[in-house]
Amino acid sequence: MNKLFVFDLDDTLIDNVHDYSEPIMGMARIIISELGSRAPHVSSIIAIEDELDLRRKSEINPLTGEPFGYSRDRFPGTLVETYRFICKKVGAKPVTAVETKLYFEGNKAFDPSQYARNIKPRAGEVLNFLRSMGNVVMICTAGDLLVQNYKLSALRSRGISFHVARVVDKKTPDVFRELAGNTSGYKLYSVGNNYKSDIEPALEVGYSGVYIPAETWETIGKMDKIKETINKDRCLELASLSDLMERYEALV
C-alpha cells in the first residue's frame, strides 16, 4: 500500500530554535550598554525575554486583531517589550532609538540566508527515498507565512522535493483531513518532533504517527513525561530522521 507522509518543518526537517539565540544575546548587550549599572544580570534579561515571549503568543496583535502566535511580528516586538519592562522596573525612560535598534536586532532571526545551513542532515535523502518508493510527501508547518516560505525555498534550493507544502496558523484535525483528501487508499502518517501538535491532531482523523523527538531547550528535562503520553499502538518513535529509511518496512 502506498503511503502519504505529512512532515513537520521546524526542528523536524530544519533546526529552528537557535535562530533566535544571537538576536537575544544582541538584545542583552544593547540593554546593558544603554542602562549600564541599572541593567539586570544578563541571565535575568534573557529570562524576562523568555517569559514575555511565551506570554505574547496568546496576546492580541493590535495591527491584525488576532493573537501574535508564531508570526514574525511577535519576536522582534518581544525584545522591545523586554527593554520597556526593564526600564519601568529601574525608573528609566525608554529611548525610541534603542527600541528601533532592538527591533532590527530581532529581525535577524528571520534572515533567509541561514535556513539552508539549518537543514537537518540527510533530510533530502529521507524525503527523496520516500518519494522513490511511490509515496506522497507533504509538509505542513505552523508559523509566519513569509518566514516558512523562505524555509521551504531553502529545501528546494538543496534539491529536496515534496508534493505539497502548507503553512497554517495551527495544526488541527481538519487540516490533516484536508491534506489527505486526494489520497484515498493511502496509509497516512504524520511525522514530527512535537507529539502534541504534530501527531495528536492527525491521529484523530486516521493517521499513524512517526515521532522524532528533538531535544531543544524547551524539552530538556521534560522528554520522559512527554513520552508517557505517546500512543505506542499508533505511533512509531525514532531516534533520528534518517531512521525513517531504516525502519520503513516496520511502518504498518
Give the pLDDT of residue 184: 80
The answer to pTM > 0.85 is no
Buried b (16+ CB within 10 A) or exposed e, 236-247: bebeebbbbeee
Give the pLDDT of residue 219: 58
Dmax (CA) of the chain: 66
Give the pLDDT of residue 228: 76
Sign of CA dihedral 88, 92, 95, 100: negative
**Which parts of the chain sit beneath pLDDT 50?**
none
CA distance 236 to 220: 21
Q: Under 8 Å CB-to-CB from 156, ≥6 apart: which residues?
A: none
Residue 54, Cβ density class (10 Å: 0-12 exposed, 13-18 middle, ≥19 buried): exposed
Give the pLDDT of residue 231: 87
Residue with cell 531553502: 154
Position 220, amino acid: I
What is the SS3 assignment for 116? Answer: helix
